[in-house]
Chain A
Amino acid sequence: MKIDPSIRSQMILPNRLPAKNPLSKAIFYLLLSVFAVLFAMPLYVMIVTSLKSMDEIRMGHIFALPITPSFDAWDMAWNKAASGFDNTGLKSGFWNSVIILIPSLAMSVAFSSVCGYALACWNVKMGNFLLMALLVCAFIPFQVIMYPLIKMSVAVKLYNTSFGVSVVHTVLALPILTMIFKNYFASIPEELIKASRVDGGRFWGTFVYVVLPLSPNIMIVVAIMQITGIWNDFLVGLTFGNVKAYPMTVNLNNITQTQTGVRVYNVYMAAAMLTAIPPLLIYFFSGKMFIRGITAGALKG
């Protein structure tokens, strides 16, 4: 399907100026390589630090490869690290993140895709007004609505539960996702929707049999966006979760800020790696889909 304009623009061969001059080409490669090394450096340092012992770290050679690489710090971070509440490491946070992620992913995609479809393919009274309102909502900082949301979630007994965190994630994602879906569905040829109506397809029938089968790409883009976004969230998990429901990022932060005894940077870096691996895997395997997600998420807003 060539219905998505952003795909279409990528299919047209870009007419850019090739760097013909070999000298400028060499300079470009040199500069790009320098920056690539600088950008990759923190990840490299994270990995080598996580494989060292604290004795080795204290020698102060931050870029040196580990003399005797070991996964002790990873084991410590996953199973035993102290978070200020207990000594059970990151694994509980990992599962909390999964438990938070699944319902919020399902709810946000369900509500926003249906609403985006209605706005794009049907006459909805005040539809444009709603889109304007959603645009404003997408920009409102969380701090502005934080206190009332806490009060409301206390009132419905969702405060300090992982489902409460999921609901807040859903609320926060709806404006931007609705706009993304609306923009995508609006590019579906009008004739297809009309044809479905002639065949007797109503609102839901057209959605299920015509629109959804055309949308696997946008669904994947949105899913990638939501999974990485919710996984990496800290503030919502911190304010709406509790000791039993803190996501992995909050767990990680608690482990690194527990000021009892020495700061064990090998464990901290191992914990950071463990938290970073799921979104990094998605990033390295999804390629262009990830890029489309972050640009759509930012620009269509």
Chain B
Amino acid sequence: MVGLLLTTLPARGASSPKTVKLSVPASTMWMKTPVKLAAGESASITATGTISYGSGDPACQGIPITADGCAEAAPVPGPAGALVAKVGAGKPFVVGRSGTVTGPGTISLGINDWETELGNNTGTFAVTITRGVKPRLPDLPPATAANARLFSAQSTKSRATNYGGVTVTRDGQRYRVTANAALQPGDVITTDDETVLALEFGIGGRVSVGRNSSIRIVGDREVESLGGTTVATPQSHLDHPLEIQTNGGILGIRD
């Protein structure tokens, strides 16, 4: 049973509305929503309302249940009767009254209940999906072998300091950064479409990274340009040359 699409608020495009409101009946498992997320794109999900969860367990029986569910075992690890989601063919997880999902794939929603038991649930959750939400990344942990630091990051539009447009990928995990963040070999530093940044090496020498660019710290005085624009400015340290690998990007040199 496909739920009813109630409202579509400010549209980003005909096929990709920014906000979608829909109702998820309590007897539904895996209702496909019209929201298809691109790789890395995130959306927030909020759910209001209560349902009645058909159960013999006193913890759930006869009481209105919010999207956070009630204390009973259920197929998706988490509370029974809770709002659950999956993206594409991904693993289902509990959303509860609010949560964030990340693409790629179409968002499907349902109630955390056994498929054969769905028929004895009643009510609906009112769900709002807002796409384009930036997932909050964890803070960059301290570097174990720091050889560089984030010297500055600036918005090209407002000229203001903007560390929000910079992410560091370390051991496969993306992190957000703050001023003077310590960086180590292997870190990949990426800028968004309105942020430029400068790194400073412990041995001296600065490397600037343009908008929509990415670099990897290779060694104590080496970086690899993975795309976009990198600018190197060597300083007066004759014994320590600065090494930049150009691999799909452009290297600018300043004196």
Do they bind each other? Answer: no
List chain A positions with a Cβ less than 8 A from chain B.
none
List chain B positions with a Cβ less than 8 A from chain A.
none
